[in-house]
Amino acid sequence: MSGNNIRVVCRFRPSNKTEIAEGGVPIVNVLEDGTSVVINGKEAQQTFAYDKVFGMDTLQKDVFEYSIKPTVLDILSGYNGTIFCYGQSGSGKTYTMMGSDIDDDKAKGIIPRIVEQIFDSIMQAPANLEFTVRVSYLEIYMEKVRDLLNPSADNLPIHEDKTKGIYVKGLREVYVSSTEEVYEVMKSGNNNRVVASTGMNAESSRSHSIVLVTITQKNLDTGAAKSGKLYLVDLAGSEKVGKTGASGQTLEEAKKINKSLTALGMVINSLTDGKSNHVPYRDSKLTRILQESLGGNSRTTLIINCSPNSYNEPETISTLRFGVRAKTIKNKAKVNADLSPAELKALLKRVKGESVTFQQYIQALENELLIWRAGGEVLDSQWASMDKASKGTLPSPRTPTPSSFRPTLPDDSRPATPALALEKDEREEFLRRETELSEQVAEKETELANKDTAAQTLQTELQALKESEKAMATTNQSITSELNDVKLQIQKASYDRKESDINVDSLREANAELVTELEQFKKTIEELKAQKASAVQQDASPATEADNVAPSIDVLSDEDILALEQETKQTLDQLNTGSFELTEDQVQQLRKQLQQYKLQLGQQETLIDSLQKDKTELTDKRQNLETRLNLLEVEYEELLEKAIADEEVALDDQPEEIHRTISELKTKLEQEFVTRKEIQQKEIQELRSQLEEKDLQYKEMDTTLAELKITHDKLQSTLETQKKSKVSLVGDKDKDVEKMRKSMAEQMAYFEVMKKGLMRDLQSRCEKVVELEISLEETREQYNQVLKASNNKAQQKKMAFLERNLEQLTNVQKQASAVLGRNSENNEKTSVVLTMHLFFFFFSSWWNKTRN
């Protein structure tokens, strides 16, 4: 620990508009050495000296380089540090600390530059040093501590702790790993700061803001650790409220600001006047938080910001004096280090040695005391001393002999010797020190024991780590070989997949072939249908030879077959009853038809044979395909399962990526397999249904064929019967003709009777017509009379029309009567009925019209 003064640097900003407008002029002169400034005041010229003075046009970068950079190195070495800006409102404190734009390389202030420097240094630090950086951001507004990173915490308490020192309880700490992250924290904190427009500054900070950066570093080799805290303080500006015209809330803020700044001044006074026993740190939140920075464990830099203009001369002089005073503050910065186990051991050894020396010293003193008490005397040269104890030259402990013992009764004859009083004080002192030392020793022993245990644990851990490293190396090797195996397996799997792809392709081809065959089969069916249709047409055509006999066999439907059967049966019945006669031509025709039937039957049989063959082939193919497909499916599944299982087993300990790739591959393969399987199953289903259709067709054909055979057999037998009966038929032909003539004569007689009946009926109808004519004539007469009476032209026209119609009807009736004489009975009947109908039609229409 060494005493170190606060570093004070002074910065002047350029004159601002208000100052110029008020007619102020620059009154500062920075001397060449860069550490002194002369103020050409109204009344006197004053010189102020600091560690560094920056003129009006100093760049942000230069302020950092020349005054701040070393502080960063201090923090990284384990010291606490503080940089704070002091000055009147609008003097450039925020400009200096944060800058007008932290993203602009020129405009950014010292805080962003410090952050950059910290991370640059961390990056360049040895690899065995491990760093952590934490950032907090607070403001003291109206004497309340607000967390700018957690604005809801707006009145945080300040605590003190043996290990932590002075700290704000509950303040949010953000771990950061880069400059950008710190910038983000700064920006979010800045957004929560309280600023207001004042007469001195358009954006005046109404609070003291503190950025706290905590850096801890740990030596991974020795276990030693260091930590440094850096307080970056932008104080609110002091202001003369009369000058700035503050009122209302701004006035209240100004009062609080000035009060806390006064407290800061008082602390500095107490620290520097050399008389004060008490430093009033607790008078304000600001001084309490900055307690370590002012006269404590910190390397502190104060930046005093001033106006160069005569308009603000009094404030500038005040600020400069503040800086001068602060410059004399002595701090006691020390490295905040946790000792390594080795260092602790050495310390313990030393303390133990000291303890032994003390014990020896105490023992020597006690012996000496006993001698004195016993009335003995100890020579000056033999008196016990700490020096002798540490050199180990103390006389060996002696027990006082009884002879030399003298009672220590108080001798009233003389006053108590000062030796006794000294003895008592010394004893108390020794006892106190002994207790202290034994406490220290006990503490150190406990510490040592703890450290020993920690060291042993560490050694065990180290051993375990070495072993695990070995195991890891072995595992690594095995993993590498497994990885190679897996790679091989993946390759194999990809080959297998390709193979299965090829298989699937071949299946597709087979499928395509089947489809082609199916198409051909369909074509064949179409052709058959076409043949059937043409046969039906032939049947329907009157030019066909077999027209009057039977429909063509190859187009026989169920109804046709039934009709044919009935016809055959009738023919057979007729033949059996002898009521049917066949001419020579008919017999010839029957023969021809029979030959045709035979031909068609042959064709049908050939067709059925070919169909049978087709069916067998198709069934075989279907079976083959199904077998192949099943085999392929089984193979594919086995392959897939095997590949997946192998990959799963092999890749259990593999890196995540390979595992994921494999699982993706697996999912893809499974999806592909499922899709293909579905497609193939659909195809198989289609093929099956087609085959079933074919089967049905085949069965129908079979039935038709059977029926045709039966018909053929019947016809054959009929033909045989015809052949047999042919001879007898020719012989009986004349008789049959005779019979037919007779039957014809009978029929003619029957027709004659019917004709006579009809003629009678006609006659009676004609009579009725005559009667009707008469009644019509009468009606006409009546009508004419009515017409004459009405003299209506329209009625006359209608009447004339009716008359014409009647005449026509009469003609028709006459023609019909004439025809009746010539035509058959039916025709006569029809004619009469027609005439009657016509008559009644015209009559009814006339009658309706007349009535209307």
Ligand X SMILES: Nc1ncnc2c1ncn2[C@@H]1O[C@H](COP(=O)(O)OP(=O)(O)OP(=O)(O)O)[C@@H](O)[C@H]1O
Q: Does 113 bind ligand X (CB under 6 A)?
A: no
Distance CA 733, CA 381 (A): 190
- Return d(Cα 394, Cα 388) in angstroms, integer: 5
The DSSP element (H or E) to which 144 belongs, if any, is strand 144-147
Q: Which strand (E) or helix (H) includes residue 48?
A: strand 45-49
Contact 302, 86 (CB under 8 A): yes
CA distance 554 to 473: 88
C-alpha span between 704 and 463 (Å, rounded): 96
Q: Which stretch binds ligand X (CB under 6 A): 94-102, 209-217, 670-678, 771-779?
A: 94-102
* Least spacing, CB of residue 14 vs ligand X, in Å: 5
Residue 249 in tokens? 């809330």
Q: Are 296 and 281 in contact (CB under 8 A)?
A: no
Complex with ligand X: residue 94 or 297, whichever CB lies closer: 94
Q: Inter-axis angle of helices 313-326 and 248-272, to 10 degrees?
A: 40
Which of 89, 291, 309, 571 contacts ligand X by CB under 6 A?
A: 89
- Residue 277 phi/psi, 5-degree rounding, is -90, -20
Under the binding rule (CB under 6 A), the answer on residue 112 touching ligand X is: no
User: Which CB atom, from 17 or from 822, has the smaller least distance to ligand X?
Assistant: 17
Going through 757-805 in order, the beta strands assigned E by DSSP cover none
Q: Is residue 131 within 8 Å of residue 216, measured between CB atoms?
A: yes
Contact criterion met (CB below 8 Å) for 146 and 233: no
Nearer to ligand X, 215 or 254 (CB): 254
Measured from the Cβ of residue 696, the count of other Cβ atoms closer than 10 Å reads 10
Q: Which is nearer to ligand X, 14 or 280 (CB)?
A: 14
Q: Contact 840/775 with Cβ under 8 angstroms? A: no
Minimum separation from the CB atom of position 239 to ligand X (A): 7
Query: 205 or 270, CB closer to ligand X?
Result: 205
| Residue 100 Cβ vs ligand X, minimum distance, rounded to whole Å | 5
Q: Which of 48, 50, 95, 597 binds ligand X (CB under 6 A)?
A: 95
Closest CA to 642 of 776, 497, 544, 525: 497
Smaller CB distance to ligand X: residue 174 or 195? 195
Smallest distance from ligand X to CB 12, Å: 8
> Residue 91, annotated ligand binder?
yes
List, as one string, the DSSP characters of 579-637: -----HHHHHHHHHHHHHHHHHHHHHHHHHHHHHHHHHHHHHHHHHHHHHHHHHHHHHH
Nearer CB in complex with ligand X: 16/552:
16
Q: Does 287 bind ligand X (CB under 6 A)?
A: no
Asked if 209 touches ligand X (CB under 6 A), the answer is no
Q: Which of 13, 444, 676, 694 binds ligand X (CB under 6 A)?
A: 13
Query: Segment 504-533, which members bind ligand X (CB under 6 A)?
Result: none
Q: How far is the CB of 236 from ligand X (least distance, A)?
A: 5
Region of 90-98, 671-679, 715-723, 741-749 interacting with ligand X (CB under 6 A): 90-98
- Closest Cα partner for 632 from 518, 490, 509? 509
Helix (H) or strand (E) holding 160: strand 158-161
With respect to ligand X, which residue has the nearer C-beta, 168 or 236? 236
528 C-beta neighbours (distance < 10 Å), count = 15
Q: Which is nearer to ligand X, 100 or 784 (CB)?
A: 100
Residues in the chain: 852
**Contact criterion met (CB below 8 Å) for 836 and 766:** no
User: Annotation-wise, does 90 bind a ligand?
Assistant: yes
Q: Was 703 annotated as part of a binding site?
A: no
Give residues 373-402 in contact with ligand X (rule: CB under 6 A): none
Residue 364's nearest CA partner among 383, 377, 390, 391 is 383
Ligand-binding annotation for 94, yes or no, is yes
Task: Decide: is 236 part of the binding site for ligand X (CB under 6 A).
Answer: yes
3-state secondary structure of 497: helix
Paired tokens of 241 = 């409220």
Stretch that binds ligand X, among 2-10, 89-97, 442-450, 827-835 (CB under 6 A): 89-97
Would you count residue 729 as binding ligand X (CB under 6 A)?
Answer: no
Distance (Å, whole) CA 699 – CA 104: 95
Cβ nearer to ligand X, comparing 194 with 601:
194
CB closer to ligand X, 18 vs 805: 18
Residue 593, C-beta contacts closer than 8 angstroms, at least 6 positions apart = 546, 549, 550
Indicate which single residue of 93, 240, 256, 285 sits in contact with ligand X (rule: CB under 6 A). 93
Q: Which residue has the tokens 């085959």?
A: 691
By CB under 6 A, name the one of 15, 67, 80, 91 that touches ligand X: 91
Q: Cα separation of 228 and 334, whole Å?
A: 10
Residue 50 or 79: the one with the smaller Cβ distance to ligand X is 50
Q: Which is nearer to ligand X, 13 or 327 (CB)?
A: 13
Q: Is 487 annotated as a binding residue?
A: no
Q: Is 52 in the site for ligand X (CB under 6 A)?
A: no
Site residues for ligand X, 294-313, by CB under 6 A, read 305
**Near ligand X by CB under 6 A: residue from 15, 204, 309, 680:** 204
User: What is the SS3 assignment for 687?
Assistant: helix
* Closest distance to ligand X from the beta carbon of 355 (Å): 57
Pairwise CA distance, residues 515 & 507, whole Å: 12
- Closest approach, Cβ 201 to ligand X, in A, equals 4
Quick one: which of 223, 237, 295, 296 contacts ligand X (CB under 6 A)? 237
Q: How far apart are CB 155 and ligand X at their closest, in Å?
A: 22
Q: Which of residues 174-203 bind ligand X (CB under 6 A)?
A: 200-201, 203
Binders of ligand X among residues 69 to 88 (CB under 6 A) are 87
Residue count, binding to ligand X (CB under 6 A): 20
CB of 128 to ligand X, least distance (A): 42
Give me the phi and psi of 104, to 5 degrees please. -95, 125
Tell which phi-psi region holds residue 556, choosing left (phi > 0), alpha (psi between -120 and 50) or beta.
beta
* Options 8-16, 396-404, 615-623, 748-756: segment touching ligand X (CB under 6 A): 8-16
Cα–Cα distance, 689 to 686 (Å, whole number): 5
Q: How far is the CB of 345 from ligand X (least distance, A)?
A: 52
Site for ligand X in 466-485 (CB under 6 A): none
**Which residue number, 13 or 229, has a Cβ lying nearer to ligand X?**
13
- Is 92 a binding residue for ligand X by CB under 6 A? The answer is yes
100: contact with ligand X by CB under 6 A = yes
14 near ligand X, judged by CB under 6 A: yes
Structure tokens at 577: 């009853």
Kind of pairing between the strands at 225-234 and 208-219: antiparallel
Q: How far is the CB of 130 from ligand X (least distance, A)?
A: 37
User: Residue 146 CB, nearest distance to ligand X (Å)?
Assistant: 16
Shortest separation between residue 453's beta carbon and ligand X, angstroms: 54
Please report how close the Cβ of residue 134 comes to ligand X at its closest, in angstroms.
26
Q: Chain-centre distance of CA 824, in angstroms?
A: 100
Q: Is residue 94 near ligand X by the rule CB under 6 A?
A: yes
**489 marked among binding-site residues:** no
557-566 — which CB contacts under 8 Å span 24+ positions?
Answer: 561/704, 561/707, 561/708, 561/711, 564/711, 565/711, 565/714
In the bound state with ligand X, the residue whose beta carbon lies nearer, of 93 and 226, is 93
Instruction: Of 209, 86, 229, give the one whose Cα is nearest residue 141.
Output: 209
Nearest distance, CB of residue 234 and ligand X, angstroms: 7
> Which residues define the annotated binding site for ATP?
87-94
Task: Give contact residues for ligand X (rule: CB under 6 A).
Answer: 13-14, 16, 87, 89-95, 100, 200-201, 203-205, 236-237, 305
- Binding residues, by number, are 87-94
